[in-house]
Amino acid sequence: MKLIGTYTSPYVRKISVLLLEKGIAFEFVNQSPWLEESQVTDYTPLGKVPALVTDAGATWYNSSIIAAWLELHHPNPAFLPADPHLALAVRQLETLADGVCDAALLIVREQQKAPGQRCTDEMQRQRDKIRRGLDALEAAAVEGKGLNGAQITLADIATVCTLGYLNFRRVAPSWCVDRPQLVALATTLFQRDSFARTEPPAG
């Protein structure tokens, strides 16, 4: 099995964590979609990471789809509840965490532009999305159903990968203020081997 992606992508990290947690052996193929010589489009027409090539030679892309495939074909340990309605609720929290990450990525792209070319209004819109998204995740973590509960879920993994990306890119340095349950969740999961091994490189 091959995982195509970069070491800094939070979506790739999500899948790496799942693979490690499930004990699935895989080869990591470091490919940045932003480089001219990138081969990512060989695996996905969208030119985005992650992409997963299975042992049978099938290719899957988009982290949520890959996560669903892994749950279907490698169900143990399970990171989605058996009840389909509860599983859907977890998937919605995963989508929420990914949406916060989408907003953070857009801010990073704007910050990479020359100061005079940055769209400050767009950056503020994305910061508002991050704030609202994190508030909703904190509320879900307080409730403890599907997120921050007794059993680790896909929503937990996606959320903590997103929080790790916020830390890594310093997009929302005050995200932890007034969100103690998210802080506790991140502190706990960052101690797991799967998260320690997938921490993005410094610099």
Task: Indicate whether 65 and 96 sit together in one domain.
Answer: no
Any domain includes 200: no
Q: Please indicate, yes or no, if residue 114 is contained in any of the structural domains.
A: yes
From 19, 50, 73, give the residue that closes a domain: 73
Average pLDDT of span 166-182: 96
Tens of pLDDT, residues 79-105: 999 999 999 999 999 999 999 999 999
CATH number at residue 60: 3.40.30.10
pLDDT tens-digit readout, 18-71: 999 999 999 999 999 888 888 999 999 999 999 999 999 999 999 999 999 999
DSSP type of residue 200: P
User: What does 17-49 look like in DSSP terms, one character per residue?
Assistant: HHHHHTT---EEEE--TTSTT--GGGT-TT--S
The parent domain of residue 134 ranges over: 84-195
* Residue 105 and residue 184 share a domain: yes
Report yes or no on 202 lying in a domain.
no
Quote the percentage of the chain above a pLDDT of 90. 95
pTM greater than 0.85 (yes/no):
yes
Which residue matches tokens 């989508």? Answer: 95
CB atoms within 10 A of CB 38: 15
66 and 123 together in one domain? no
C-alpha span between 129 and 101 (Å, rounded):
10
How many domains are contained in the chain?
A: 2
